[in-house]
Structure 1
Amino acid sequence: MEKEENKSSRFWDKRSKVFDEQVLSVYENAYKKTVKRSIPFLKPEDTMLEIGCGTGNATIPLSEYVKKITAIDISEEMMLKAAEKAKEKGRENITFRQKDLLELDIEPESYDVVAAYNVLLYMKNQEKVLEKIYDVLKPGGVFLSATDCLGRNLSKDAVRKFWKSKLHLMPYVSFDTPVGLMRKIQRKGFLVIEIVNLHRNPPNIFIVAQKIEKK
């Protein structure tokens, strides 16, 4: 039987062909808000890890504000599109790697910033992912995320994704509420310092969380 990760990568490889056209027609403003709200938490000397970089819609503009970004995604086709955009913009401080976060060999406390934009809702192993993010962040490091919280209301998009996921037509989809997602992040040792909604329906929740010492 084919591994779930391989099914997911094939799904996103296929989606890469229409991703920007379809997603930006709905979420372009949310992406711009994500970038704008992330910038104040970045410093020129920061090293950043972005999980699920997709076609680089946040990666590339944010690369102006940090020293270096390691951008990972399970989809090779998504990353090829992101790398092409980065080359066109002359951004040489981004390293793209086709990798799942949990399989990535990273020394603890390696990054100043970890970002996960519009990817947590597709992760069945959210708890382990959050633990890994905490582990690879330096003390006081910042975790930036933006996530559709489909559990807040039954939008058409939420219902569509629910059935497509149940019928195995797309990868796993979580149905977090904003408060539920925030509490998951807090339980892993983070102090949530900002939470705001970037999109009307479904709500796209932007969270800034800082790594603090676990008691």
Structure 2
Amino acid sequence: MKDAATFWDKIAPKYAQDPIKDMASYEYTLERTKSYLGSDDRVLELGCGTGSTSLLIAPDVRQIIGTDISPAMVDIAITKAKAADITNTEFRVATARQSTEVLETFDAVLGFNLFHLVPDAEDVFAGINKVLPRGGYFISKTPCLGDKSVGFKRFLFKAMIPPMQWLGKAPFVRFLTNKEYEDALIFAGFEIVESGNFPAISRYVVARKT
């Protein structure tokens, strides 16, 4: 299996060009996310990829910082921000864990389509809790590929992904269930405010620091 940064660097150009597969679900969760954010908020997006979501949220907040493990992804995000003349964004190369070990605080932390790819996700959740104030929001959408709601596809994923990883065609993947994911957030010191599957394979969760 390839190093994660190398894997994502290689696919970054194609990733940037690929259309969103379920635009209706993306737009719905984007608007739900914006409803929890304020114009004076400082926001951190983990695993920002090429920055598309950060740039859409930027007009609604004071500042958004996007981080990603892939330098190639971050380069694309910076280029897009400059082209759009969006000045309240900052993009950094960092793992999810490194992003929460900085001496900074945020009003909200976001992470979309990320945590099934993070081996130390539970440690990251604890770090997120530390950089948020009491009542701050952690908003995420995570494919829970091990959940029964995925149906028969979960068995196909478990059969297909290991050989793809061996060939360097897939990154590290965790097969979480919806309950395992939400229980991990609760253990890290969050309460679940809102959750749902949008689309069916992905668990959207709004969690608040208690």
- For the criterion TM > 0.5, the same-fold answer is yes
**CA deviation digits over 1:48-76, x for unaligned, max 9?**
01101001121110111110011110101
- In the alignment, the residues of structure 2 paired with residue 168 and residue 13 of structure 1 have an alpha-carbon distance, to the nearest angstrom, of 13
Q: Does 1:13 align with 2:12?
A: no
- In the alignment, the residues of structure 2 paired with residue 143 and residue 165 of structure 1 have an alpha-carbon distance, to the nearest angstrom, of 30
Tell me how far 1:165 sits from its aligned partner.
Answer: 3.4
Q: Which residue of 2 aligns with 1:70?
A: 65
Q: Which residue of 2 aligns with 1:158?
A: 157
The 3-state SS of whatever aligns with 1:17 is helix
Tell me how far 1:167 sits from its aligned partner.
Answer: 5.6
The 3-state SS of whatever aligns with 2:107 is strand
- In the alignment, the residues of structure 2 paired with residue 161 and residue 36 of structure 1 have an alpha-carbon distance, to the nearest angstrom, of 32
Q: Percent identity?
A: 28
Q: Which residue of 2 aligns with 1:45?
A: 40
**CA deviation digits over 1:30-65, x for unaligned, max 9?**
332221110110000000011010011211101111
- In the alignment, the residues of structure 1 paired with residue 25 and residue 161 of structure 2 have an alpha-carbon distance, to the nearest angstrom, of 19
2:9 is matched by which residue type in structure 1?
A: D
Residue-pair matches, total = 204
Structure 1 contact 195–205 (Cα < 8 Å) conserved: yes
Change (3 A) 1:53 1:32: same
Structure 1 contact 8–170 (Cα < 8 Å) conserved: no
The 3-state SS of whatever aligns with 2:176 is coil
Tell me how far 1:86 sits from its aligned partner.
Answer: 1.6
**CA deviation digits over 1:11-38, x for unaligned, max 9?**
001111111344x342433332221110
Deviates more, 1:82-91 or 1:47-56: 82-91
Q: Which residue of 2 aligns with 1:114?
A: 109
Unpaired runs of 5+ residues, structure 2, are: none
Give the TM-score, by structure 1 length.
Answer: 0.87
- In the alignment, the residues of structure 1 paired with residue 106 and residue 85 of structure 2 have an alpha-carbon distance, to the nearest angstrom, of 23
Q: Which residue of 2 aligns with 1:170?
A: 170
- In the alignment, the residues of structure 2 paired with residue 60 and residue 205 of structure 1 have an alpha-carbon distance, to the nearest angstrom, of 22
Tell me how far 1:138 sits from its aligned partner.
Answer: 1.3
Structure 1 contact 31–57 (Cα < 8 Å) conserved: no
- In the alignment, the residues of structure 1 paired with residue 129 and residue 91 of structure 2 have an alpha-carbon distance, to the nearest angstrom, of 21
Structure 1 contact 124–172 (Cα < 8 Å) conserved: yes
Tell me how far 1:162 sits from its aligned partner.
Answer: 4.6
**CA deviation digits over 1:68-89, x for unaligned, max 9?**
0111101011111112222222
- In the alignment, the residues of structure 1 paired with residue 23 and residue 78 of structure 2 have an alpha-carbon distance, to the nearest angstrom, of 19
- In the alignment, the residues of structure 2 paired with residue 12 and residue 163 of structure 1 have an alpha-carbon distance, to the nearest angstrom, of 18
2:194 is matched by which residue type in structure 1?
A: E
**CA deviation digits over 1:165-207, x for unaligned, max 9?**
366542210111112211111111101000011113xx11110
Give the TM-score, by structure 2 length.
Answer: 0.89
